[in-house]
Amino acid sequence: MPESEMTNDIRVVFSGQESDDLSGWQPGLHPMDILLRGERLPHIWCQGCGLGTALTTFIGALQWLEKNRGWNLDKVSVVSGIGCTGRVAGYVRLDSFHTTHGRALPFATGLKLANPELKVVVISGDGDIAGIGGNHFIHAARRNLDITVICVNNFNYGMTGGQVGPTTPHGARAVTSQYGNFEDPFNLPYLAAAGGASFMARWTVLHARRLEWTLREAMLHPGFSFVEIIAPCSTSYARWNPEGQGLDPQKLRRRGLEIMKHYQKVGKIAHGTHPKDASIKVDDQGLITEIVEGIFIDEPKPELQDSINRQAEVAKKRWAQTQKALEDRPRLSERADHVPRTEVQLGGFGGQGIMSAGRIIGQAATIYDKLEACFTQSYGPEARGGAAGSQVVIDSNPIHHPHLIEANSAIIMSQEAYVKYVPQLAAGGILLIDEGLVSLAEDHCKEIKTYGIPATRLAEELGNVRAANSVMLGFWSAIVGVISKAAMRQSLADSVPSKTVEANLKAFEMGYEKGLEVGSHL
Ligand code: SF4
């Protein structure tokens, strides 16, 4: 908007008649009582602080939306982070969440995505939103998620004693910048605009009525809306800076009032100002000399949920095409009998041959038994001795999902692997444990068919402890019976060092025989 058109006129968006209608008000009850948690009052805010006005305008806007736009306030959720402003979440009688420092936006994002019906409003301070949570702020703006962010900017970390924050003006004093802040502050509306927000505005708490109207607009705006509220911090910030100088430090209320007068002097209402030109001007002492106020940007833009829904439609169509292509794909399996999807989990520690055992099963299935198979593996951070797991999926049909959904059988050779993998085993599944290394939990599921094999001890007796996995493979092969014995033997012989082939095949046979002995119990 050109300078000549910038006036102090109120941009009347809603009829004042509607907003001021207090019919329904009962004597003895404050009109806002219904949305305040009286049991949490008195509040913790200092005398002369601007947060009370910020909260009042927010509640006023909500009540107006309930009355005039039919909003169900049970569907409004307030999220805040840490700091003086963060207390708002505790004072409003709505579903509200007081989260960890800087994390209000991720929390709000999750809330909104999980329940798109909710109107989610984040109310937090400048330190929380632009400092600790600054990265979340720009990304939430970029996504244009349909939430409203109200940032009460009092130019410092007030609650912790008045340290320099990301919006402290250049030259202003704070408890950690006694000779004046040497950093440049963020211009928050410009930051939101650069991120991609589709609505942004700024008011001081002096302009309470206009602020309330703007909050209504912001909350009605589809997409990411941002409102910065400039508010006095009469205790922590004002005592160091010219706006509050010369005042009795005990008279905080008076100090807040002086700051409001200052806002009146330096405030300049200019709707439509490009946020880039809306930085807060200061002199070399950090005294604020101009605060541009108004609604800077209010434009339509596809919001995140719409974009997600559109992409989901595209994905559904593509998946239908892919599914057809997969169904039409020639079967690679040449085995006459049909093998349904079979999932095997193997677990132990590094050095036991858990990965090799999984690969031997997969290789036996694909190369020698002409089935389809997928093999995946996961390691702990240690090279040897750490947790190790491998997974195999076997099927006659093409395998569309390579990871396990619910294992049918498991070969477990360490206690850690037992704890980690057995809960993922299907009820009625088959569990083989190396009984010298694994003990069953007291609440071990009785529906799992469990077999203890002294694999490590048997391998030791054969003179090669590292063949314990081959004992387990032999037992698994006999019990599960999905892959032919010949295929397993061949795959095993291909996979181990030539000088250990004989020992491993012997170990496999030993396990296989033991499996046949108990197999009749299945
Ligand atoms: S420390 Fe500042 S922001 Fe916090 S309650 Fe007191 S005056 Fe308000």
Above 50 in pLDDT, residue 18? no
| pLDDT (average), residues 372-399 | 84
What is the pLDDT at residue 30?
74
| CB of 45 shorter than 6 A to ligand 1 | yes
DSSP states of 341-405 as a string? -EEEEEEEETTS-HHHHHHHHHHIIIIIT--EEEEEEEE-SSSSSSEEEEEEEEESS--S--S-S
What is the pLDDT at residue 280?
95
Above 90 in pLDDT, residue 246? no
What is the pLDDT at residue 324?
84
Give tens-digit pLDDT for 43-102.
999 988 999 999 999 999 999 999 999 999 999 999 999 999 999 999 999 999 999 999
Above 90 in pLDDT, residue 34? no
How many residues does this entry show for the chain? Answer: 522
What is the pLDDT at residue 384?
58
Helix (H, G, I), strand (E, B) or coil at 229: strand
Pocket test for ligand 1, best of 43, 47, 49 (most atoms within 8 A of CB): 49
> Two tokens at 522?
């299945």
Give the distance (Å) from ligand 1 centre to CA of residue 150: 17
What is the pLDDT at residue 249?
54
Give the distance (Å) from ligand 1 centre to CA of residue 448: 60
Above 90 in pLDDT, residue 33? no
| CB of 236 shorter than 6 A to ligand 1 | yes
Q: Whose CA is nearest to atom 5 of ligand 1?
A: 45
- Ligand 1 atom closest to Cα of residue 158: 1
Scanning 46-98, the segments in alpha helix (DSSP H) are 51-69, 88-91
| CB of 85 shorter than 6 A to ligand 1 | no
Helix (H, G, I), strand (E, B) or coil at 192: helix
Fold of 342-519: Pyruvate-ferredoxin Oxidoreductase; domain 3 (3.40.920)
> Two tokens at 9?
């006129």
Burial of 500 (0-12, 13-18, 19+ CB in 10 A): middle
Above 70 in pLDDT, residue 165? yes
* Domain spans in the chain, listed from the N-terminal domain onward: 17-301, 342-519
Q: Whose CA is nearest to atom 1 of ligand 1?
A: 158
What is the pLDDT at residue 258?
85
What is the pLDDT at residue 14?
38
Per the CB < 8 A criterion, the answer to whether 100 and 86 are in contact is no
| CB of 234 shorter than 6 A to ligand 1 | yes
17-301 architecture in CATH? Answer: 3-Layer(aba) Sandwich (3.40)
CA distance to 66, 377, 473, 482, 522, per residue, from 451 (Å)? 64, 24, 13, 18, 11
| pLDDT (average), residues 291-316 | 94
Beta strands in 260-369 (DSSP E): 267-269, 281-282, 288-298, 342-349
Give tens-digit pLDDT for 461-506.
999 999 999 999 999 999 999 999 999 999 999 999 999 999 999 9
- Ligand 1 atom closest to Cα of residue 256: 7
Above 60 in pLDDT, residue 512? yes
Give the distance (Å) from ligand 1 centre to CA of residue 51: 8
| CB of 252 shorter than 6 A to ligand 1 | no
Match 């998620």 to its residue by tokens.
Answer: 145
What is the pLDDT at residue 234?
87
CA distance to 61, 107, 489, per residue, from 77 (Å)? 14, 11, 62
What is the pLDDT at residue 380?
67
The pLDDT > 70 percentage for the chain reads: 89
Per the CB < 8 A criterion, the answer to whether 333 and 371 are in contact is yes
Pocket test for ligand 1, best of 55, 85, 235, 259 (most atoms within 8 A of CB): 235
What is the pLDDT at residue 32?
83
| CB of 174 shorter than 6 A to ligand 1 | no
Pocket test for ligand 1, best of 53, 55, 80, 84 (most atoms within 8 A of CB): 84
| CB of 233 shorter than 6 A to ligand 1 | yes
Averaged confidence pLDDT in the chain: 89
Above 50 in pLDDT, residue 15? no
| pLDDT (average), residues 277-284 | 93
Helix (H, G, I), strand (E, B) or coil at 135: helix
The pLDDT > 90 percentage for the chain reads: 76
Q: Whose CA is nearest to atom 6 of ligand 1?
A: 46
What is the pLDDT at residue 212?
97
pTM assigned to the model: 0.67
